[in-house]
Amino acid sequence: MADQIGMLFFKEKQAKLLLALASSPKEWYISDLAKTTNVTYIHTSRFISRCEESGIVKVERHGKVKGLTLTDKGVEIASTIQNLIEKLNKKENPEQTKI
């Protein structure tokens, strides 16, 4: 239930992909990212292409595979998403809500 509240404002698959990229400073590959997040390869690939165009993800080609890392802009966006999800999932103390 908590994850559902956190994803209220985001598309779940895209948020999962960005947060996974941010979770480790290693270079990711599309296939590894897709498997880790349980998102299809084609959906992951298309999303990464859009992120690259927007300057969120840096893609480096290594032969046939693409290495992925978040740019500074991507790190900031992922951090903002994570902070918002945490705030949405945080339970308020009933005492604090009294006026």
- CATH number of the domain at 69, please: 1.10.10.10
Q: Where are the alpha helices (DSSP H) in the chain?
A: 2-6, 12-23, 30-37, 41-53, 72-89
Whether 57 maps to a domain, the answer reads yes
pLDDT of 11 reads 83
**DSSP secondary structure letter of residue 62:** E
Helix (H, G, I), strand (E, B) or coil at 70: strand
Q: Report how many domains make up the chain.
A: 1
**pTM metric for this prediction:** 0.77
Identify the helix (H) or strand (E) that includes residue 58: strand 57-62
Whether 49 maps to a domain, the answer reads yes
Domain span at residue 40? Answer: 2-89
pLDDT of 93 reads 60
Query: Across-strand partners of 70?
Result: 57
pLDDT of 94 reads 55
pLDDT of 8 reads 58
User: Which residue ranges of the chain lie beneath pLDDT 50?
Assistant: 1-2
